[in-house]
Each structure stands twice: as C-alpha cells, then as structure tokens.
Amino acid sequence: MTRVGGVAAVKRAIAIVTLACALFASGVRAEAPPEKTRILVWHAYRAAEETALLMLIDQFNAAHPEYRAEALALPYDVYPSKLSAAIPTGHGPDVFIFAQERVSAWARDGLLSPMDADAAMMPGEFPEAALDALRSKGALWGLPLSLKSVALYVNKSLVPVAPVNTDEMVALAQKLTDPAQGRFGLAWEAGDFYHHASWLSGFGGKLFKEPEHRPVVDTPEGVAALTFVRDLMRKKHVMPEEPSAQLVATLFNANRAAMVINGPWFAGEIHGVDYEVVSLPIVSATGLPARPLLTVEAALVSATSEVKDGARALARFLVSKDASILRAKIGRQVVATRSAYDDPGVGGDTLLRAFRKQAESAVPMDNTPAMLTVWEPYKRALTAVLSGLLEPDEALAQAQRRLNAIAKPMPPPASPWPLLLLAAGGILALSIWIRRRPVRPDAPALYHDVRRAIAYCTPAAASILVLVFIPFAIGVGLAFFHHGEGRYTFVGLSNFVDILTSRDYRITEPMSFWFTLAVTLAWTVANVVLHVSIGLFLALLLRDPLLKFKGVYRVLLIVPWAVPNYITALVWKGMFHRQFGAISALLATLGLEPVSWFTRFSTSFAANVVTNTWLGFPFMMVVSLGALQSIPQDLYEAAEVDGASKWAQFRHITLPLLRPALLPAVILGSVWTFNMFNIIYLVSGGEPGGATDILVSEAYRWAFQRNEQFGFAAAYSTLIFLFLLGWSALTRRVAREPSPEAA
Amino acid sequence: MKRPLLGTALVHMGLVVLCVIVLYPLLWVVGMALSSQPGLQQGLWPLPAQPSLVNFTHLLTAQDAAGHFTFWRQLGNSILVATLTTLVGLTFSVTAAYALSRFAFPGRRLGMTALLATQMFPATMMSVPLYAILDKLHLLNSLSGLVLVYATTSVPFCVWMLKGYFDTIPKDLEEAALLDGASQGQIFLKVVLPLTRPALAVTALFSFMTAWNEFVLAATFIDDQLRFTLPVALQRLVGEYKTEWGLFAAGALLVSAPVMAVFFALQKNLVGGLTAGGVKG
Amino acid sequence: MADVTLRGVHKAFGDNPIVRGVDLEIGSGEFMVLVGPSGCGKTTLLRLLAGLEQCDQGEVLIDGKVMNDAAPRERNVGMVFQSYALYPHMTVRENLAFALELRKTPKAELDARVNEAAQMLELEKLLERRPKQLSGGQRQRVAIGRAIVRRPSVFLFDEPLSNLDAALRVQMRGELMRLHARLQSTMIYVTHDQVEAMTLATRLAVFNLGKLQQVGKPLDLYARPANKFVAGFLGSPGMNFLRGRVGKGAVAGDGFSLALSPRYTALEGREVIAGVRPQALTLSAQGGVRGEIEAIERLGTEGYAYLRTKVGTVVARFEGGGAELKVGDAWGAACEAASVLLFDAASEEAIAVQP
C-alpha cells in the first residue's frame, strides 16, 4: 500500500529530526565531569562592576581549590522572574546578587538562606541601615555589597559652591536657566519615583503607615513635595520637561544642566565636565535633609543550594575588606564594608566618599512586596502633575485609590467543589453527547485518512499540547486562585467577578476592565484599519507594471518589519519627546506648537497607533501585493470597457476578490494587535494615568507590578482569550467561510 | 496603457516621501549606534556630527574571562537556534498543514480553530509553567529545549499559511504522480513541496524571526553565558539604572542585519508566497 | 495490452451511491468509451480502475488479476486527466520522464522513450518549456505523452478534450484515433459528449444514475438502443418520444398516429412510448404527426423544424432551405414504419420483437 510508504517517509523525517535534535543536544550538553564543587553566581552587573566581580571570583577560586565559582550575567528585565522560577526547582544559582527590594517575599517563599551568622563574623562592618534593608521577620537574608542612592552632581564651572538647602538651589537654578537656549539649572528624572522619594522624605513624608505597613501616599507631606517639584518645572521652568535619563546626561554633558540628581552609575556617562558630587540639600521649608532611597545590593544565598558552605564562604569573601576595596576601585561601587574606606584609594576617592556619605543618611527602601506596588501609582501621579494635568493633591488621591485597589483584601476562600462538580458534569455531558451522537454511516469512508492524518499531525500536535496547551491550562487554572503572601488560595470565580463588575472603579474610569476593553478595541480597530488601508494602497501603487524601481520601494517599505520592535518602539518614544523630540522639531519648522504627546488620552493613543502602524503596515502590504496578483487583469479591462471608474473598479472588483485572501490575515493580525504588549508598554506606558493601557498590558501589570497578583492577571488573560475566541468565531461566521469538510 | 508624466512623477514623489518616513526612525537607531558619547541627539537630524564605530568594535571584540569572543559565540548560538527552529518548525507545520488540507478526518475544523486560539492567550502568563515543563523534560539550559519551544510557537502561523497554500494545489497533480508510480513520500517531496516553495520561504522567514528576536524565554531557560542567544546579550545592555543606548543600538543593527539579508533575498518569493498561500484559512 | 473486467462494482460517497452494481468486460486493445450525463458515475468508474478510489463491493480485474487493493502504480495503467495535471515546476521533458525516473529506468532507455513519445506527439521542440508556456492543445499532448512513455497496459482518459475549443477538439480526436491504431493498447475513455463517444469508440458503454444502460458498438446502440435513455442520449438532435397506444398497424396518441411495422401487431392495445429520430421524421403537409411550427433550424441543404404537438415538441427534418416554412404554420410529419421504435411506457425498456 502506498499509504504505508507515506507514513514511513514521515516517520523517517521525524526520526531524522529527532536524531538531529538529540545529537545537537548531547553535543551542546557535553560538559567536563565536575572535579570541583561548582558554585554558581548570578548577577546583572555590566562593564566595570562585572569586571570587578569576575576578578573576585577568580581570586576566590584560587584561594579555594575545592570550589569552582562561575558567574552568569543576566538581563535585568528577566532576572527576578528567572530567579522565582529557577530556585524552587533547584536549578537556581548558589549565590546571587540582587537589591533588597524582593528580599521579604523571597525569604517568605523559602528561597533564601539566613545570613545572620555570616554577618556576625564581621561585626561593625556594615551600616545598620544596610543590614536593616536586608532583614525580614527578624532574620538577615544577605550580605550588603554596595549602596546605591542618588546625590547631587554639580557642574563646578557653573556652580562654584554647591547649594546646602533648597532655597539656595532654586535661586542658583533660576540664575542658570535659559529655556530659550535649552539651558536649565536643574535636571533629574522627575517622573520617576525613585528620584522623587528624596523630596518626599525631605518634606517629612513617609511611604508606609505603621504598624499595618500599608502604603499611604496622599499625605500633606507628599503633596508638599510634589508641589515643590511641580513648581520647579512648570512655574519656575528651571527643569526640562519629560526628563529622561538620556536627556539628563545629554544636558549635563553639554553644560546645559548645571545641577543633576543622579546615582553613582551616572559618573561613567559624564564626559568633559568638571563636576563634584554632594549630598542632596536640606529642604528649606522643613529644615530636613532630602534623604534619597537607599538600595542595597547584596549577596544572597539560595535556600536550595547544594553547596551552602561554599556559597556562604563566597558571599563573605565578596563583602570582605580586600574584595570591597577591589570592587570600589575597579567596579566603582559604593561598597558597604566600612573598613574598605580605610584604604586611601577608596577613602580618598571623592566620588565614592560623597555617595557613601549620602548613603549614610539615605532611607533604606522597603523590602516587602508592598513597596513594589508603589512605583506604578506614584509614577502616574508624577507624570500627571508634571505635565500639568492634575493638581498634586488630586493626583496623590488618585494614586491612593489605585494603591487601595491593588492592596484589596483577599476574597474569601471558596470551596472548589461546586466548580469541580460543574466541570465534571460538563465533561460527562459532553462525552455522553459525543457517545449518543449518531455516527454517520459513512464515517469510515469519509474519514479513511485518519491514520495518515494522525501520523502527519502528531509532531505538531504533541509539541503544541505539551508546550502551549498545558501552560495555557495552568494559566487558566490560576485564574481561580488568589496569590498573596506566596500562597495560592482557591477563590472560585471571585477574580472574574471583581474584574467584570469593576469593583474598585466606575466603568468609565481608566482602571476598569470595561474601559480598558473599549480602549483595546479602539486600538485594534484603528491599527487593523490603518494597516490594511495603507498596506493595500501601497500594494496598488506598487503593482503598476509600468512603475520603475518597484523592487527598491518594496524592499525599503518592508524594512520596519525586519528590525526588532523593542528598539524601534523606543526610538519612536524618543521622537515624541515634547521638548527635544524630532516630531516637535518638525512641528517647529512648520511653525506649530510642540505637542505634549503623553499627557492627553487622544495624543497618547495616537502616538501608540502611529508607532504600531509604522511597524505593522508592511505585513499587510506584502499580503495585499500577493493577493492582488491573483486577480486576473482581464477583469479590469472588461470593467474599463464597461466604463467603470477607477474607484468603481476598486470597489467592485478589487475589494470583493481580495476579501477571501485578506480575511485570515486580518483575523490573525487583529489577534496579534489585540495582544501587542511591547508598543503600549514602551511608547505610552499607559499614560496618561493608565488610560492607554490595553488588556494585555493590564494583565502584565497585575502580574508583575501589583503585588504579584498572578490569579488576577490570569483571570484577565482568560477573559482576553475568551473575548478573542468569541470574536474570531463571529468574524468567521460573518465571512461565511466554508467549512474545511465542504471545501 | 500610457500614463501621464505628471502622474508618474507624483506617484514616485509620494513613494519617496513614504520611504523617508519609513526609514527616518531607523536613522535614529543608526545615529545612536554611531555616536561615541552617551546621550541624545536632538532635533531633526539623527546622525552624530562625529560618527564613530566604537560601539560596533566594542561589541564585536568583547571577550569573556576565558577569552571567548562572546558576540561571535552568541551569534553562532542564534544562527544555530534560528536555523534549527526553522527546520523543526517547518517539519512540524508542513506535515500538519498537509494533513489539514488533504486528509479527511474528524476534528479538522477544530484543529484550525485551536491553532488560532493558541495566539490568543497572552504569552506573559506562560513562561513560568513552561519552565516547569521543560524542567520535567530535562530540556532546561539546552538550546534544543529552546528550539522546541520556538518551533512550537511558530507552528500556528505556519500551519495557517501553508494549509491555505496547499488548498490551492490541485489534487489532480498528486493523483497523476500516484499513477506515475510515486509513493506518498515521493509525492510529498517531489511534487507538493517544490510547488509550495514560496509559502515555505515565508513561513521559514517567520520561524527564523520568531527565534531570532526572542529574549525573555531564552534568558529564562538558559543558564550559561556561552549558550545565550544574541538578543539576550543585547538585552543585557538595558540595566536597572541605566541603558547603554549606543551599544544597544549598535547591537540592534547587528542583530537585524542578518534578518534583513534573509528578507531581501526572499522578498520576491515572499510576494508570490503570500499570494497563493493566500493566507487562506 | 490487457483486458479489464468489472464485476458487480459498487461505490458510494457518504449516503450518495455513485456506482450501483456495474459489470463490464473490456477486451484487450479495445477503445472503450464510457459515456453518460454528468454525475452518472463514469468518472468514478475510471478512478476505481486507476486505483484512485476503492470500490465498496465487487471486483476490478486487470489482465485477469483482481486489483481491488492494488495501488495505482501496481496496476500499470496510464491516465490523462481532464485538467492535464502537468507538474508546473517541471519542464515538458521532466514531466514526461518523471514516471520513468521513479522507476529508476536506465538513462539511455529513458531518453529513448521520452524522445519517442515526443516525436509521436510532435513535442520535440517544446521539451524544455514549462507547462505554463504551452497552449491548451500542447498541454493536452504532453499529458498524453506522460501516459505513453510508461507503456501502460491500459490507458485511461478522463474527459481529456473538454477544455479545448471545438476545432482543436476535432483535431485531437483524430490524433487519438491514430494513436490507438498505432499503439493497439486498451483505452478507456470517459466523456459526456455523445459525438466524441460515437466517433472514437470501438465499443460504447452508456451510463445513467450509476448503472450501465447498454454496451455495444456505437452504431448498434444508435440503431437498437436498449431503453429510452440510451435512445435519447445518442444522436443529435435527440430522439422524439411520443406517448400513445398500439393500435392496428399503427401507434396513436393524442393528435398523432404513426404507422408500425407488422411485427408489432402482437402488441395491440399496449401503452407505449414511440421513439423516432428526427432524421427519420420528414416534415410534410400531411403526415401522422400534426403540430404548429414553433422554431426552425436551417442548416443549408436541410434543416429541422420544431413542431408543437399535443404530446409535446417534435423535431422533424426537411430537405433544402425550407424557405416556405414559417413559424406558426400548421404542418405534419411522417416516417417509415421501420424507423419507429417502441418502449414500454412503464419501464421505458425497448420492446424487442423478433423480425
């Protein structure tokens, strides 16, 4: 039988591929047998800091022949989630370097080994604030490596004497500001809470209400701090608008920003400017020093490490005096170890000393998950106020509402039985229905290819089943749980109920599911319409057989498709900058006012759509080009003879004949656009106030920026899925696509 | 057909303007890559006054402690992973799409819908369960695990494309080959696949790009510097406190250069391929 | 060369029976044409022979061997498809050589056979072209050539000429007949065109509704159709049918009467359908069939008039230009008694009476 031959061929092909995979895997996996015990160190250091770390690891290995420490440098963005995934399964590092921000959660989840005994071996070496930052539930969970906080950089040629209080600072800044020339007295990333926190403390504000340790932001102190910064930017104009890290660096290097608030990492970006670093000034209104947030980078030891002794030895070594001196000198780190500053090369370094001094007065950043929920609401408040959209008190009240919504109490645990019974009943009913359904008498004849079909589909089906549907099922399953305090609790449908009834917001408010859904729909429709119409229009132009340089145009116009979208999205973001972006420059040459793109919903949404249209039209252009080629030319000639206008030809020939070819592309394209996370996240970031967020970016925020509410995020994702499924069923019905059996 | 000179000129002018709009943002990437100083070029003209290749040389000559040229190693990994992803992904999708197009069996329509459905669940929720599954399969920290994941991700689009294309190939051809004495395997390899070449080019490109640009899963599943792919290395330049924009831009150009090369080589096929493939469901 | 036998073959698609119990013997070297209206199962029968479909019941024998489960390539049959089914990515030469290459035929023999086929079909100059660079007729010849090079014992043709224009069709018919004469192979040819069927066939098998109606030499079928369907299907314009009753020496109905040959006398009083070919029915002022002219087809030296009678439209022949005829005039038609055939009114089978 020939069928056997077909199956055999496919089997052979599968065997070859499997064999290739296996060979390849074994080749890559081959490793030298470990003679020494390996200690794995994970970090996200780069450049000088990485060099210093690697040197220290070499030194450690030389001093401890029984161990072989190895470093793995990871991208910062994926580092935390990788740790959370890897450590529980035992694949994680033995030692890893991370700031204190997640220490409590990790300690609670049992990912860390306590380090009290190790710290006790070096009494008096670490500032109490640094150790506090690494404590949770009474134990110490890491050894502090370096202290990071912002301080004031002053351009010495413009500011001979650094200001000691804000009155001096503001007066100086006003003197040095000339907006017409693009000169500013002050600059920092004012839209970022990390930088802003210094002023909050300077005005006497605290982020948490004790003893319940709840973030409270709508305090009088908070309003005062925010008003102070707002006035600097919007009333006194001594600061640039929408100041990004890049912009701050550019202005400082060009002597166009006299004073800059930034961290030790900024020193490496300064070129040709004579500068010094001093502590932040005293806030004149309160007489309190502006105390920046202190991040403590620490060496942490994994709870699942199999070489804990070695790992702790390595951690101790990294914070030892000699190692700290090397990290300070080579890695330019503001090391935590006190005795390192006895070394003249460290203690005498003005930059390190200045930051060390600032660190002594800094406020250690809270290490509980509650801290992680503060960033997004506060950032939204900052941008709203700094763009003039809201008054400080309104913005902070809004932020507080947001925080309350995020910190919502866990819904009451539900019994899983009703849902399980329902599911079981559903499955039973389904199987009975399948059983009872009359078997078509011709089934054997109609489905005579079943065996072959199984053979052909198995590789794809198996891999999709394991690598897509199982994770998918887990994801959907999570939607019925609440994740809090590191535990999952079954809460039945309450996540869905909360989302669909928009519990914390009116449905007309940006944070409600329905508002986000409406934005998502508008986003999808706008994009798909633009993609298709621009793509089709260009395809019609490029189809003209008489047009020269067709190939060149075609190649140039599909370039946006080929470049990774995370970089082009950031470029677009830069072009939309109100003061320095290319689009403002273009508007200026046309004699128009620059637009503050991300302060209004309409312009912010438009910026997203423009970026995504730029990215997406080439795909539709290529699809349309192809589809157009399948329309016989003689139809147009016939229409021409009939006296049809160009528009009528397009309307009555081109469009109807393109429909079948374009429709699936439109369906797939709309699904992709619906879930196009990168553009929203990177371009508008949801501004203003989360209004331009779409469902998928909301889901992401619930999972990663709002107290790890994985259950809630999963419920969002499930709703996205159900919505898209319904929508595609609808479109396909509307399109009256013949079923495959009928085809 | 003759068209007036003026019309032609207008069309060309319009197209040139469009090309400028399309390429302008990319010029910013080039500008960032060519500038030796951190910070931002301002105004309308994106290229720096003193272009420098220092970012490129820095990336291309970076060495790790053991003296490996990391860029080249990671480029090798990326090429390996993307190529194998393409091969495995195409093998999976070509066979499945052929079955969905040609064989009568229950669940065909369901299968197509299920494939579309895989595109609907946000990917962010999948990486942690995936990690656990790969762990069970002993495929963590191996490029083959990565290949398998990428290939699977690319299957739904590829199957949709290819199935549409297979549908346009007349069944007569296969029957003629059957009578000519070809086995099922020979029909598939000698008659069907050569005719599918354009659609194969498109889907190959798609699979290649899927693997080539991805970094979240690669960084999560791989624990070895020398097994990282290029986008992971590129993403390392985006830090907690600051981003190395010049290097990042240079890296992005280096990463996209091979894709563009493949793209340009395939673009003729691409047009034809999407045609008949007709992305026809 | 081989003979082909079908025994009790049944085939259904779903609930839809397409072939319903066909028995047919095709002798070695015959040119057998399977003819019938579309949907009659003739193409399915051909595909059953080719092995592209499996029959539900019955047996398919080629050269005396049961082939029910044999794959197409084990049957040694060549097929020419209605759509030609040329491989678009191969040149004409590659198309012709494909089957031989699959069989690993030695190069020299392969070339010889390809060249021979190309010469036979006048394709020598086109060997390096691809199918889309060929005209319809050329593609048709390549499709035939692809079957020829394999030297199959049976050739199967599935409406091969239906995509060609009328003139080319006539020419290709001639070529096919020459080819048959030259190869002396068994050829089985499916068509719905009765003219094609009549001209090509050495024997003809007429199908309707999945059943074999009649098989025989074309002229035998024309002259002695087994039933009303065969009678009506062969010949153009189609046979006239008039419902009536057999009387004395004549068959008569509402408004007509036709003389019968004496051998039908025994049937007196029976309800029948009388069939007369238009060619045998002459328009005349008198005549047993009366009606009004509703349309006239003038062909030059002869023509056909369509008479509206009480039992339906009847077509009758006239000689010459027919200048005297006018639509609306009342005319009659008559024929010789020998040319009237009778069919049973209920079963529609021909009523056979020994002369």
How does pLDDT run across A454-485, given as a tens digit for each residue? 888 888 889 888 888 888 888 888 888 888 77
Query: Subunits touching C (CB < 8 Å, at least 3 pairs)?
Result: A, B
- Kindly tell me if the per-residue pLDDT of A10 is higher than 50: no
Mutation target among B180, B184, B189, B200 for the C interface, most CBs of C within 10 A: B180
Rounded Cα distance between B190 and B97, Å, is 17
- Dihedral of the CA atoms A12, A15, A20, A26 (nearest 10)? -160
pLDDT at B40: 59
Are C69 and A441 an interchain contact pair (Cβ–Cβ within 8 Å)?
no
Structural domain boundaries in chain A:
37-147+296-362, 151-291+373-406, 520-693
Contact B142 A13 (CB under 8 A): no
| Cα–Cα dist B10/B14, whole Å | 6
Helix, strand, coil in percent for chain B, rounding step 5: 75, 0, 25
For A2, nearest residue in chain C (alpha carbons): C71
Statement: residue A20 has pLDDT above 70? no
CB nearest to B274's CB, from A582, A622, A741: A622
Nearest 5°: phi and psi at A326? -65, -40
pLDDT tens-place string over residues A179-224: 888 899 999 999 899 999 999 999 999 999 888 888 999 999 999 9
> Which two structure tokens, joined as six digits, stand for B186?
């020979």
Mean pLDDT of C34-39: 89
User: Are residues C85 and B170, on separate chains, in Cβ contact within 8 Å?
Assistant: yes
A277: pLDDT strictly greater than 90: yes
Alpha-carbon distance A88 to nearest alpha carbon in chain B (angstroms): 10
CB under 8 Å to B129, separation ≥6 — which residues? A470, A471, A474, A475
Q: Does the structural domain A151-291+373-406 have CATH classification 3.40.190.10?
A: yes
Whether residue C227 is predicted with pLDDT greater than 90 in this model: the reply is yes
Q: Kindly tell me if the per-residue pLDDT of A428 is higher than 60.
A: yes
Q: Could C72 and B178 be called an inter-chain contact, meaning their C-beta atoms sit closer than 8 Å?
A: yes
Q: In this complex, do B182 and C89 lie within 8 Å of one another by their Cβ atoms? A: no
CB A142 within 8 A of CB A96: no
Alpha helices in A390-493 (DSSP H): 392-406, 417-436, 443-446, 450-464, 470-478
Task: Tell me if C14 and A1 make a contact (CB, 8 A cut-off).
Answer: no
CA dist., res. A374 & res. A193, Å (int): 9
According to CATH, the superfamily of the domain at A37-147+296-362 is Periplasmic binding protein-like II (3.40.190.10)
Q: Give residue A442's pLDDT.
A: 54
Using DSSP bridges, classify how beta strands A257-262 and A184-187 pair: parallel, antiparallel or unpaired. parallel
All residues of chain C having their beta carbon less than 8 Å from the beta carbon of residue B179 are 50-52, 72-73, 77-79, 99
The reply to whether A99 touches chain B by the CB within 8 Å rule is yes
The residue to which tokens 């070496």 are assigned: A125
Instruction: Write out pLDDT tens, residues A702-724.
Output: 887 777 788 888 898 999 999 98
CB-CB contact of C325 with C319 (8 Å): no
Mean pLDDT of A412-425: 83
Of A1, A2, A446, nearest to C14 by CB-CB distance is: A446
What is the H or E stretch that residue B145 is in?
Answer: helix B143-168
Single-letter residue type at A287 = G
Angle at C197 between CA C191 and CA C199, to 5 degrees: 145
Could you write out the DSSP letters of every residue in A1-28?
Answer: -HHHHHHHHHHHHHHHHHHHHHHHHHHH
Mean pLDDT of A532-548: 83
B188 at interface of A, judged by CB pairs closer than 8 A: yes
Q: How confident is the model at residue C235 (pLDDT cuts 50, 70, 90)?
A: confident
In this structure, what token pair is assigned to residue C351?
């009523």
Task: Tell me the pLDDT tens digit for each residue of A243-266.
Answer: 888 889 889 998 999 999 999 989
**Segment C268-284 mean pLDDT:** 90
Structure tokens at B278: 């007709």
**Domains A37-147+296-362 and A151-291+373-406 belong to one CATH topology:** yes
Among the residues of A490-600, which ranges form H helices? Answer: 494-500, 513-543, 550-557, 559-562, 565-575, 582-589
pLDDT exceeds 70 at position A136: yes
Residues B168-187 pLDDT 10s: 788 888 889 988 888 888 88
pLDDT for the residue B81: 94
Q: Which among A297, A288, A302, A248 has a CA at the least distance from the CA of A270?
A: A248
Close Cβ partners of A360 (under 8 Å, ≥ 6 residues apart): A127, A129
The answer to whether B30 and B257 are in contact (CB under 8 A) is no
Separation between Cα atoms, residue C235 and residue C194, nearest integer Å: 7
Interchain pair B176, C79: CB under 8 A: yes
More confident residue, B145 or A740: B145
Quick one: average pLDDT of A5-17? 48
Q: Which residues of chain B neighbour C71 with C-beta distances below 8 Å?
A: 178
- Burial of A155-184, coded b for 16+ CB within 10 Å and e otherwise, reads beebbeebbebbebbbebbeebbeeeeebb
Our CA-based measurement puts residue B57 at a distance from the nearest CA of chain A, in whole angstroms, of: 15
pLDDT band at B160 (very low <50, low <70, confident <90, very high): confident
Q: Nearest residue on chain B to C80, judged by CA atoms?
A: B176
Partners of C258 in beta bridges: C251
A623-656 confidence digits (pLDDT tens)? 787 777 666 666 777 777 777 777 888 888 788 7
**Domain assignments of chain C as residue spans, ordered by start:** 4-227, 237-344
pLDDT of residue A630: 61
Nearest CB to B173 within list C71, C77, C87: C87
Give me chain B's average pLDDT, please: 82
- The tens digit of pLDDT for each residue in C44-76 reads 999 999 988 888 889 999 988 898 888 888 888
Minimal C-alpha gap between A538 and chain C (Å): 29
Domains and CATH numbers, chain B: 70-269 (1.10.3720.10)
pLDDT for B278: 31
Instruction: Please tell me the distance in Å from C170's CA to the nearest CA on chain B.
Output: 25
Which residues does chain B have within 8 Å of residue A22's beta carbon, measured at their own beta carbons?
Answer: 144
Asked if C244 and C252 touch (Cβ cutoff 8 Å), the reply is yes
Chain A and chain C share a number of CB contacts under 8 A equal to 16
For residue A203 the two structure tokens come to 């005005």
Shortest Cα distance, chain A CAs vs residue C272, angstroms:
41
pLDDT score for A118: 92
The arithmetic mean of pLDDT across residues A316-338, rounded, is 94
| Whether A1 and C71 lie within 8 Å, measured CB to CB | yes
| CATH architecture of structural domain A520-693 | Orthogonal Bundle (1.10)
Q: Do B224 and A732 touch (CB under 8 A)?
A: no
State the DSSP string of A62-85: HH-TTEEEEEEE--GGGHHHHHHH
The winner for highest mean pLDDT among A322-336, A679-693, A700-714 is A322-336
Cα dist. A1→A528, B105, B184 in Å? 49, 19, 10
Closest Cα in chain A, distance from residue B44 (Å) = 5
Beta bridge mates, C155: C78, C187
Q: Transcribe A338-379 into DSSP letters.
A: GGGGGSHHHHT-HHHHHHHHHHHHSEEPP-SHHHHTTHHHHH
Query: Can you say how many angstroms the Cα of residue B28 is from the centroid of all Cα atoms in its chain?
Result: 23
Are the beta carbons of B275 and B198 closer than 8 angstroms?
Answer: yes
CB contact under 8 A, B103 and A464: no
pLDDT for residue A225 is more than 70? yes
Strands A37-43 and A214-215, by their bridges, are unpaired
Average pLDDT, chain C: 89
- Comparing CA positions, the residue from C310, C238, C243 lying closest to residue C278 is C238
Nearest 5°: CA angle at C184, between C179 and C190? 65
pLDDT in tens, B24-64: 888 888 888 888 766 556 667 777 777 888 889 888 888 77
Percent of chain B with pLDDT strictly greater than 90: 11
A667 vs C94, higher pLDDT:
C94
What percent of chain A clears pLDDT 70, i.e. is strictly above it?
91
B105 touches chain A (CB under 8 A): yes
**ipTM of the complex in this document:** 0.83
| Topology, domain C237-344 | OB fold (Dihydrolipoamide Acetyltransferase, E2P) (2.40.50)
C87–B177 CB contact, under 8 Å: yes
Residues of chain B contacting residue A468, judged by C-beta atoms under 8 Å apart: 118, 126, 152-153
User: Are A703 and B142 within 8 A, CB to CB?
Assistant: no
B187 CA to chain C: closest CA distance, Å? 10
- Residue A295: band (very low, low, confident or very high) from pLDDT cuts 50, 70, 90: very high
Alpha-carbon Rg for chain B in angstroms: 23
Q: Assign domain C4-227 to a CATH class.
A: alpha beta
C15/A441 touch (CB, cutoff 8 Å), yes or no: yes
| CB-based contact A675 B122, cutoff 8 Å | yes
Instruction: Check A2 against C14: CB less than 8 A apart.
Output: no
Burial of A21 (0-12, 13-18, 19+ CB in 10 A): buried
pLDDT at A523: 95
CB contact under 8 A, C14 and A440: yes
Q: Which of residues 70-89 of B touch A (CB under 8 A)?
A: 80, 84, 87-88
* Percentage of residues in chain C having pLDDT higher than 70: 99
Q: Which of C67, C96, C102 to mutate to test the interface with B (most CBs of B within 10 A)?
A: C102
* Residues of A (6-45) whose Cβ lies below 8 Å from B: 6-10, 12-14, 17, 20-22, 24-25, 28-29, 40, 44
Query: In the predicted model, is pLDDT for residue A441 greater than 70?
Result: no
In this prediction, residues C345-352 reach a mean pLDDT of: 88
Q: Give the minimum alpha-carbon distance from A126 to chain B in angstroms, rounded to a whole number.
A: 23
**Cβ atoms within 10 Å, residue B119:** 21
Q: CA B44 → CA A361, A577, B21, distances in Å? A: 43, 12, 12
The predicted model gives A572-582 an average pLDDT of 81
Residue A112 has pLDDT above 80, yes or no: yes
For A152, the 3-state DSSP assignment is strand
Cα-Cα-Cα-Cα torsion B137, B143, B144, B147, nearest 10 degrees, comes to: 110
Across the interface, which of C52, C78, C83 has its CB nearest the CB of B178?
A: C52
Span C289-315, pLDDT tens digits: 888 999 999 988 999 999 998 888 999
Residues in B lying within 8 Å of C, measured between beta carbons: 170, 172-173, 175-182, 186, 190-191, 194-195
Contacts of C72 in chain A (CB under 8 A): 2
Per-chain mean pLDDT for chain A: 85
Q: In this structure, what DSSP letter does residue A112 have?
A: B
Q: What 3-state class would DSSP assign to C162?
A: coil
Per-residue pLDDT band at A162 (split at 50, 70, 90): very high
Q: How many CB pairs under 8 A join B and C?
A: 57
**pLDDT for residue A67:** 93
